[in-house]
């Protein structure tokens, strides 16, 4: 374990949530690390006393753009800032020249942010949305088979494949590299919802052949709500018009009176108006934290923590629903009791033990982050009702 990582584990000063909660819902809405809330407070103090007059607000945002690009092996000009994943996917969906009969391939277990924009496109443009169902293997693990995704991708009318890198309910990590390579070879577009992976699992838009990617910052990235990242591959930017147009969409946004309607040639054209400055300052601090610790180190830590938890859950009689083989694992562990009602377990943990997990699709879901200690997971398992 690296020194940078170990210094944060169980560190109540760096992660104040540890003083009050055993918090395991980073796949939902994360608690803010101290450095993130400090960055937001610093912005608020500066805005209160000096407004924009002495600040470096936009320089900080530009440094976040560079850090975000580095995190996914992209170019800075391929990065735009968005309010949330749904906005990013809507920009993508509405920017593609869909024709009647085009197929859009996804799964039947996507979070709605990666479903409703495509449903809207299909309704308005006469496309077909193909939703591949989840299956259960002989060990009760929930997954969408890769071979079925490949088969639907290869259909001659498929124009776009859109997947979560990690599925929110099962925790399945898709083989994005294989799917992306196939899409590129067959001339299909590939869109990835990376909200459950960016910052904690390796994401490389080039080696994974990703065309479009969206991720909000309020989960594993440890940032505040309302500040997210959109990636559009460089050669697709001219072919993907923005969903909304505003004063910041053009090449000379501060040339107010001349109305030169020339859109920016880079992903900045998707940023139509004033930034969520405090949110992006917080996200910059979060990105700096994760880059300092190292994504590979965080990923290894999550593998250890999830393996540690699963071993103890099985010993206590719980059924693991998350797939773990062949790099399908993620930071999400979904599990089930065959005896006790899940809603009662969830409520009991929160009210009686200050332990926070989640309920998704009728499953108990634990999503610890790298700073959580093994002792916290022990308390979770101990608090669960036995058989």
Domain boundary among 256, 291, 326: 291
Evaluate whether 154 touches 182 at the Cβ level (below 8 Å). Answer: yes
| Whether residues 27 and 147 fall in one domain | no
How far CA 44 is from CA of 49, 227, 333, in Å, comes to: 9, 16, 37
Q: For residue range 205-216, list pLDDT tens digits in order.
A: 999 999 999 999
Residue labelled with tokens 């979560």: 164
What is the predicted pLDDT for the residue at 301?
98
C-beta separation of 209 from 161 below 8 A: no
Higher pLDDT pick, 52 / 221: 221
**103 and 248 together in one domain:** yes
What's the whole-number mean pLDDT along residues 64-72?
97
Which residues span the domain enclosing 322? Answer: 3-32+294-383
CA distance 20 to 14: 13
Pairing of β 189-193 and β 158-164: parallel
Q: Are residues 180 and 71 in the same domain?
A: yes
Using alpha carbons only, give the angle 97, 101, 107 rounded to the nearest 5 degrees.
85
Task: Classify residue 39: in a domain, yes or no.
Answer: no
- 220 inside domain: yes
* DSSP string over 56-79: -HHHHHHHHHHHHHHHTT--GGGE
Q: Quick check: 150 and 125 in contact, CB under 8 A?
A: no
pTM of the model: 0.96
Asked whether residue 142 carries a pLDDT value surpassing 60, the answer given is yes
Can you give the pLDDT at residue 24?
Answer: 98
Separation between Cα atoms, residue 383 and residue 312, nearest integer Å = 12
pLDDT digits (tens, 9 = 90+) for 147-194: 999 999 999 999 999 999 999 999 999 999 999 999 999 999 999 999
Q: What's the pLDDT at 55? A: 75
**Residue at a domain's end among 270, 291, 312:** 291
**How much is the average pLDDT of 118-139?**
97
Is the same domain home to 85 and 201?
A: yes
Looking at the structure, tell me whether residues 12 and 119 fall in a common domain.
Answer: no
- Which is higher by pLDDT, 149 or 387? 149
Is residue 40 in some structural domain?
no
pLDDT of residue 3: 59
Label residue 54 by pLDDT band (50, 70, 90).
confident
- Give the pLDDT band of residue 258 (cuts 50, 70, 90): confident
Evaluate if residue 324 carries a pLDDT over 70: yes
pLDDT value for 2: 57
Please report, for the chain, how many H helices and E strands are present, in that order: 11, 15
* Residue 208 belongs to some domain of the structure: yes
Q: Alpha-carbon distance 225 to 14, whole Å?
A: 19
Confidence of residue 56 (pLDDT cuts 50, 70, 90): confident
Q: Which of 191, 183, 133, 131 is nearest to 154 (CA)?
A: 183
The reply to whether 255 falls in a domain is: yes
Give alpha helix (H) positions in the chain: 3-6, 34-49, 57-71, 85-95, 116-125, 146-153, 176-186, 277-293, 295-315, 342-353, 374-383
Distance separating alpha carbons of residues 284 and 24, to the nearest angstrom: 23
| 274 Cβ neighbours under 8 A, 6+ residues apart | 248
Domain count, the chain: 2
Task: Look up residue 64 and give its two tokens.
Answer: 């976040």
Instruction: Confirm whether 320 is domain-assigned.
Output: yes
Residue 38 lies in a domain: no
Domain membership of residue 37 (yes or no) is: no
- Chain segment 360-376, per-residue pLDDT in tens: 999 999 999 999 999 99
- Looking at residues 333-349, what average pLDDT do you find? 97
What CATH number did the domain enclosing 322 receive? 3.90.1150.10
In this structure, are 173 and 274 located in the same domain?
A: yes
Which CATH number does the domain housing residue 266 bear? 3.40.640.10
Among the listed residues 224, 199, 285, the one whose alpha carbon sits nearest the alpha carbon of residue 29: 224
Q: Is 315 left (phi over 0), alpha (psi -120 to 50) or beta?
A: alpha
Contacts of 339 (CB under 8 A, 6+ apart): 385, 387
Structural Rg of the chain based on CA atoms = 21
Q: Is 259 left (phi over 0), alpha (psi -120 to 50) or beta?
A: left
- Check whether residue 102 and residue 198 sit in a common domain: yes
What's residue 256's pLDDT?
85
Last residue of a domain, one of 276, 291, 306: 291
pLDDT beyond 90 at 284: yes
Are 266 and 194 part of one and the same domain?
A: yes
Average pLDDT over residues 125-148: 96
Helix, strand, coil % in the chain, rounded to nearest 5: 40, 15, 45
Q: Clarify whether residues 310 and 285 are in a common domain.
A: no
Band of the pLDDT at 81, cuts 50, 70, 90? very high
Specify whether 95 is located in the same domain as 243. yes
Query: Same domain for 286 and 299?
Result: no
Domain shared by 215 and 321, yes or no: no
Spatial neighbors of 249 by CB under 8 A, at least 6 apart, are 242, 263, 264, 268, 269, 270, 271, 272
Q: Over the chain, what is the mean pLDDT?
A: 96
């Amino acid at each position: 374990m690296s020194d940078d990582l170990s210094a944060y584990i169980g560190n109540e000063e760096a992660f104040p949530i540890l003083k009050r909660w055993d918090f395991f819902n980073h796949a939902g809405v994360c608690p803010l690390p101290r450095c993130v809330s400090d960055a937001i407070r610093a912005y608020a103090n500066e805005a209160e006393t000096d407004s924009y007059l002495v600040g470096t607000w936009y320089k900080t945002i530009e440094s976040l753009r560079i850090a975000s690009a580095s995190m996914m092996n992209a170019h800075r000009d391929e990065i735009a800032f968005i309010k949330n994943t749904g906005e990013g996917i809507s920009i993508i969906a509405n920017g593609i020249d869909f024709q009647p009969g085009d197929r859009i391939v996804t799964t039947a277990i996507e979070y709605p942010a990666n479903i409703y924009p495509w449903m809207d496109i299909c309704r308005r443009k006469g496309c077909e949305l193909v939703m591949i169902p989840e299956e259960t293997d002989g060990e009760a693990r929930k997954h969408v088979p890769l071979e079925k995704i490949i088969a639907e991708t290869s259909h001659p009318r498929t124009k776009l494949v859109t997947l979560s890198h990690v599925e929110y309910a099962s925790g399945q990590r898709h083989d994005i590299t294989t799917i992306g390579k196939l899409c590129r070879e067959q001339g299909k577009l590939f869109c990835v919802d990376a909200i459950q992976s960016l910052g904690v699992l390796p994401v490389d838009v080039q080696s994974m052949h990703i065309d479009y990617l969206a991720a909000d910052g309020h989960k594993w990235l440890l940032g505040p709500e309302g500040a997210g990242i959109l990636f559009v591959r460089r050669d697709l930017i001219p072919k993907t018009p923005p969903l909304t147009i505003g004063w910041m969409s053009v090449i000379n946004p501060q040339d107010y009176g001349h109305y030169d309607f020339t859109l920016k040639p880079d992903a900045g054209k998707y940023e139509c108006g004033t930034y969520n400055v405090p949110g992006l300052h917080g996200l910059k601090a979060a990105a700096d934290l994760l880059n300092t610790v190292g994504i590979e180190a965080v990923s290894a830590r999550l593998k250890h923590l999830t393996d540690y938890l699963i071993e103890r859950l099985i010993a206590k009689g719980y059924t693991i629903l998350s797939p773990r083989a062949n790099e399908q694992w993620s930071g999400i562990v979904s599990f089930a009791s065959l005896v006790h009602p899940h809603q009662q377990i969830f409520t009991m943990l929160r009210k009686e033990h200050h332990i926070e997990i989640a309920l998704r699709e009728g499953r108990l879901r634990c999503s610890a982050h790298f700073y959580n200690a093994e002792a916290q997971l022990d308390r979770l398992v101990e608090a669960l009702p036995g058989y």
